[in-house]
Amino acid sequence: EPEVTQTPSHQVTQMGQEVILRCVPISNHLYFYWYRQILGQKVEFLVSFYNNEISEKSEIFDDQFSVERPDGSNFTLKIRSTKLEDSAMYFCASISQVNYGYTFGSGTRLTVV
Amino acid sequence: QKEVEQNSGPLSVPEGAIASLNCTYSDRGSQSFFWYRQYSGKSPELIMSIYSNGDKEDGRFTAQLNKASQYVSLLIRDSQPSDSATYLCAVKINDAGKSTFGDGTTLTVKP
């Protein structure tokens, strides 16, 4: 069964450092998303991406965040200057049709110290 | 009012029983409804999608949708210990693609 692949599985970074989280969506999917889940809290929407541009973003997704699809397979989330409150699980998701349910990647646990 | 609200847990049922999970949503424009299962430390896994009023069955799982009451539920028949997880209700509005998730209900199935 096709999978969404995320790397790294766990990243520890110093406050103020830049991090890049990587995702390889399912190859024939067209819509890509980043969500995060702070420990013990709900899954929160960050950003959606379609046709090589952001289609929607949340209030969380401020100027410190950016997304990119640098080639035909990778989809990245960059946090420019990490804060302690950015510590969370970050999930990438993709779908082939916009009203479908997501296939999530296994997630990247980001710890900011 | 929360956009997506799930019945507070945790919910505990004996093996073989029916587990009933409930969810209400606030936006009447919502069109797509999903149930995800999330094991501790893992990513959410889609188990059911429902788009129109009524019941949808898939194996031991039945999703029920009532748009007039803004209510969606998930029934798990013949519950197994492996069903022990947190169940997330998620709702999409129109074709925005973004899903709004509830807080989740943690289910424990006791052998």
Summarised one tens digit per residue, pLDDT across range B45-81 is 999 999 999 999 999 999 999 999 999 999 999 999 9
Render pLDDT for A77-98 as a digit per residue (tens, 0 to 9): 999 999 999 999 999 999 988 7
Looking at residue A74, what DSSP letter applies? -
d(CA A16, CA B99): 30
Q: What is the pLDDT of residue B59?
A: 97
Q: What is the pLDDT of residue B12?
A: 97
Answer whether residue B33 shows pLDDT above 70.
Answer: yes
d(CA B101, CA B91): 7
Contacts of residues A67-71 at CB distance under 8 Å and 24 or more positions apart, as own/partner, are A67/A34, A69/A32
A31 touches chain B (CB under 8 A): yes
How many other CB atoms are there within 10 angstroms of residue B90's CB atom?
26
CB contact under 8 A, A42 and B101: yes
Closest by alpha carbon to B55, among B38, B79, B71?
B71
Per-residue pLDDT band at B2 (split at 50, 70, 90): confident
How close, in Å, is residue A27 to chain B by CA atoms? 18
Per-residue pLDDT band at A24 (split at 50, 70, 90): very high
CB contact under 8 A, B98 and A95: no
**B6 and B61 Cβ atoms separated by less than 8 Å:** no
B104 touches chain A (CB under 8 A): yes
A82 touches chain B (CB under 8 A): no
Answer whether residue B96 shows pLDDT above 70.
Answer: no
End-to-end Cα distance, chain A:
36
d(CA B62, CA B64): 7
How many other CB atoms are there within 10 angstroms of residue B45's CB atom?
16
d(CA B12, CA B74): 15
Q: What is the pLDDT of residue B95?
A: 63
**pLDDT, average across residues B26-44:** 95
| A89 contacts on B by Cβ (under 8 Å) | 43
Q: How many CB pairs under 8 A join A and B?
A: 61
d(CA A9, CA B83): 25
Q: What is the pLDDT of residue A70?
A: 86
CB contact under 8 A, A48 and B43: no
What count of Cα atoms within 13 Å lies in the side-chain half-sphere of residue B94? 2
B63 touches chain A (CB under 8 A): no
Q: What is the pLDDT of residue A5?
A: 96
Q: What is the pLDDT of residue A60?
A: 96
Q: What is the DSSP string of chain B?
A: --SEEE--S-EEEETTSPEEEEEEES-TTEEEEEEEEE-TTS--EEEEEE-SSEEEEETTEEEEEETTTTEEEEEESS--GGG-EEEEEEEEETT---EEE---EEEEEE-
- DSSP β-bridge partners for residue A57: A47
Please state the separation of Cα A30 from the chain's center in Å: 15
d(CA B111, CA B95): 42
Render pLDDT for A29-81 as a digit per residue (tens, 0 to 9): 999 999 999 999 999 999 999 988 999 999 999 999 999 998 878 999 999 99
